[in-house]
Amino acid sequence: MEDLPPSLVTEILSRLNDSADLVRCRLVSKTLNEMSYEVRSLNHLCSLSSYLISRSRGANPPQAMTFKIIFKDLVRRLSKLDSVSIAVEKSLGRRSYDEVEDDDDDLYLTEPSFLKDWLPEIGGGLRSISICDFWSQSSWRKSEALPLISSFCSNLLKLELKNTWLSVDGLNCMPKLTNLTLEFLRLDDEDLNKVNECFPGLKVLNLVGVGGLKEPKIDLKNLKICYWTISNAPLSITILAPSLVELKLECIRPRSLVLETPSLSDLHLTIENADHLKVKEFTCLKSLQLESWNLFSLMGKFGSSRAVKILALNIPKHNQDATPKLSIEILYDSFPNLSSLTLGPGAWSEMEASFCSGGLDGRVEMNGLKEITAYLSIDEMDNTLSFISSMLNRCSNLSNMAVLIHGIVGSRLASKFVSKIRTDLPRLRWRWGFWKEGEKDCWVSAFI
């Protein structure tokens, strides 16, 4: 490694996932020791094992404070830092209050006094900060982390704050910030309004599991990409983002959902009920993924979307006793120019049930469709085969079909199904696999 160019050695050391590895490298050789002080990125991680050792019976009290002390010592010695990440390991963050019984502040990483010990010294040169706090210590007291960062890090481009309760009192405008992630933390509506006001240059915004919001509004004219998951049921959700091109929104049952995003081209929407969804026409929308307990109603909110080429549909929990409303006819009335279609297990089951109750309208032609991905359960093999055959007979340009069979289906039945469908429909290229709730899809063949 000593024969490598110094710039490459520095790049490698800057990519280490844990500062402990950086310290170990200093012991290997004089060259690595010298290069270790040139790194631009520092990742400081408190592991579960380190935490347990510090809390073990007989541990000296000073040991509990070493994580913060080591970090402050490291950053003061690294003069060229432009990226800092400090975090507790995920497995430690998931431990319950009863398991940790912890009201100290040794891992309270957004503690104002801790931030004041190092931010003023290096904050001006930082381009990226990521802090993943220890929820057991951070959740019950407000942190001034955001105002402090805005005071000392005027050149920051990317900011991630996780597992804490934030205050926005005294937050300064940060026009250079383009990428913001707030994850599993507490905010109020007025706090989110302050974020809109103080981060006008945001292009990427991730809000994951942010609690406390009742009528949240995102109003950012430069925003391009947004990922927003809302675990509670707010009264209303509003997104005003004229430049937004990609949106992933997961929410439960808002009374009102307003999307004013005319440039949107990629939308992934998961919502329990969409009775009060208000959308302006998406003339640029090319890719659409919809997941809802009332998928039929949700699809109706989009009218006839001729721009959509890629469509994925699913119903999280399909009600076998409900009257099927979703059908291929309705799908193609809404999205007549599809080239790619993915049907999750709930959507496929409802469409198959609709077909079995009334057949398939002979006028349906899906000539633009080139590929289909289907998640099947195969309750009645003859019905499933008949539905596939009838649907594909109306897809003159279809070339690829991928079929994933539920893992509970017996191997003998699955093999029989695969053999039968390949014999009956030999013109297509098929791909096979298995799916199961909560697990990654398992593909067993490529397109053949």
**Residue-wise pLDDT tens digits, 191-240:** 999 999 999 999 999 999 988 888 999 999 999 999 999 877 778 899 99
- Cβ-count burial of 410 within 10 angstroms (0-12 exposed, 13-18 middle, 19+ buried)? exposed
**Average pLDDT of the residues in 79-99:** 74
Query: What's the pLDDT score for residue 205?
Result: 98
pLDDT band with cut points at 50, 70 and 90 for residue 7: low
- Using the predicted structure, report yes or no on whether residue 10 has a pLDDT greater than 80: no
Report the distance separating Cα 348 and Cα 328, nearest Å: 10
**What element of type H or E holds 183?**
strand 179-183
CA 448 remoteness from chain centre: 32
Listed residue (296, 400, 317, 390) closest to 352, CA to CA: 390
CATH code of the domain occupying 40-184: 3.80.10
CA dihedral 423, 428, 431, 433 (to 10 degrees): -50
Query: What's the pLDDT score for residue 98?
Result: 47
Tell whether pTM > 0.85: yes
Query: What's the pLDDT score for residue 40?
Result: 86
**Residue-wise pLDDT tens digits, 253-266:** 788 888 999 999 99
pLDDT band with cut points at 50, 70 and 90 for residue 291: very high
Query: What's the pLDDT score for residue 194?
Result: 95
- Which residue in the block uniquely carries the two structure tokens 């991928």? 402
**Contact between residue 166 and residue 141 where contact means Cβ atoms under 8 Å apart:** no
Non-local (6+) Cβ contacts of 19 within 8 A are 42, 43, 44, 45, 70, 71, 74
Q: Kindly list the domain boundaries of the chain, sorted by start residue.
A: 40-184, 187-277, 286-448
**Residue-wise pLDDT tens digits, 140-155:** 889 999 999 999 999 9
**Residue-wise pLDDT tens digits, 385-413:** 998 988 888 888 899 999 999 988 888 88
Q: What percent of the chain has pLDDT over 90?
A: 42
